[in-house]
Structure formats: C-alpha cells, structure tokens
Chain A
Amino acid sequence: DAGVTQSPTHLIKTRGQQVTLRCSPISGHKSVSWYQQVLGQGPQFIFQYYEKEERGRGNFPDRFSARQFPNYSSELNVNALLLGDSALYLCASTGPYEQYFGPGTRLTVT
C-alpha cells in the first residue's frame, strides 16, 4: 500500500509570492490534516478536512487556506509569503486510530 504522498519535495519562493502544496492520503482514508513544522519545534496544526469539509483550523492567518477534493487528496495554499513561512509542511492521513504523516514539503522563502 502506498503511504501518504506529498509534492513537491522542496520549494523556494520569494516574499509576497503564493504557493500550493499537494497531498494524497492513504487509500481508504477520508481525512487529511496539515501541519507546519519550524526547525527545532514540533508540528503545529493548520487544518483538518474530512469528506471535503473543514473540521478544524489552527491559529494561522487567513493567508493560509486549504481544500479537499472528491478523491480525498488535498491542497494547502499560502498567499503573500513571509520569511517566517519557511518550514516543513506536513500532511497527515487519518485512520481509525492514528494519523500517518507524509514526507513533507520543505518550503524556503527568500
């Protein structure tokens, strides 16, 4: 079985630009969560989606948005990038009892 996949692996953007990150959950999982992990810290919750509906939102500005598609894949969009948005962005696929994480997308904002 394929695990959680994320694309792209790495991304370099300039301040003020916009970025879209993509995630495909484990087959059969209907819920996807997004987390931001800054170097040296634990992941911070951004969004959770279940059956295309937003189920939870963390303490992030409105520049962050997400959506989930009928095939349960998801996109995270960040507008007006700031230097502080540089981080590892993680997607988690939620099963009955736990969340499985993808390899992440490393975003660098210059």
Chain B
Amino acid sequence: EDQVTQSPEALRLQEGESSSLNCSYTVSGLRGLFWYRQDPGKGPEFLFTLYSAGEEKEKERLKATLTKKESFLHITAPKPEDSATYLCAVDFGNEKLTFGTGTRLTIIP
C-alpha cells in the first residue's frame, strides 16, 4: 500500500533557528510530491510541487528538495508567522493525493 510518513510530528523552534521537516514515501511510481501549509481550521495552502529526484524549489524562507525516497522542507531563519502544520502529499499516479499526517511547526518569538 502506498504510504507517506512525515517527521517529526511536532517541532518547536526559536525565531531565527533553521531546521528541516522530512517526508518519506513508499517508492511505487511517484508522479509528483506536494507540500502544503495549513493553518488551524483552514484548507491547505499550496506551496510546492516536485517531480524528480534532485529537484529543488524555493519560496521566501522555505526550500523543498526531493530524493528517490524522501523530501525535505528546509526552513531558514523562521518567523512566528511561519507557525502552521506542514503537509506532504504524493501522487502515486492513481488519481488521488496520499497525505502524511503533517508536522506541526511552532516558532517562538
């Protein structure tokens, strides 16, 4: 069964303290990997799509990378407004997104 696993479940950082979130997946014909940000009670906000190993995408303080079996979301010098749950989802080529359970990120001022 196709699976997506995110770690850690929760992460608390001081403002300005850089770190990385991990998303690993079962290797079975990945068609695309997606990162979303979700604020409490709201719908996921699209951040990045990655398609092939070695690909990287950047947006402000966020950078997403992809290998053959995992993806990392690097956050550089985070600010309190970066606090949210970050979701990883994989399109295994079966007309749906399979999501991980997310990483709840808290940035402390």
Contacts and interface: CB of A to CB of B under 8 A. Distances in A.
B82 to A, nearest CB: 19
A104 B40 CA distance: 11
Contacts of A42: 4, 87, 89, 99-102
A25 interface: no
B43 interface: yes
A33 interface: yes
Interface string A32-74: 0101000011111100100000011010000000000000000
A40 B101 contact: yes
Contact of B101 (A41, A58, A92, A101): A41
B59 interface: no
A107 B44 CA distance: 17
Contacts of A40: 101
Interface string A82-108: 000000101010000111111110100
21 contacts: A33-B97, A40-B101, A42-B4, A42-B87, A42-B89, A42-B102, A43-B97, A43-B99, A56-B95, A56-B96, A58-B96, A90-B43, A92-B97, A98-B34, A99-B46, A99-B97, A101-B36, A101-B44, A101-B46, A102-B43, A104-B41
Interface of B: 4, 32, 34, 36, 41-46, 49, 87, 89, 94-102
Given A42-B87, A43-B99, A99-B46, 7 more contacts: A45-B96, A48-B95, A56-B96, A90-B44, A98-B34, A101-B45, A101-B46
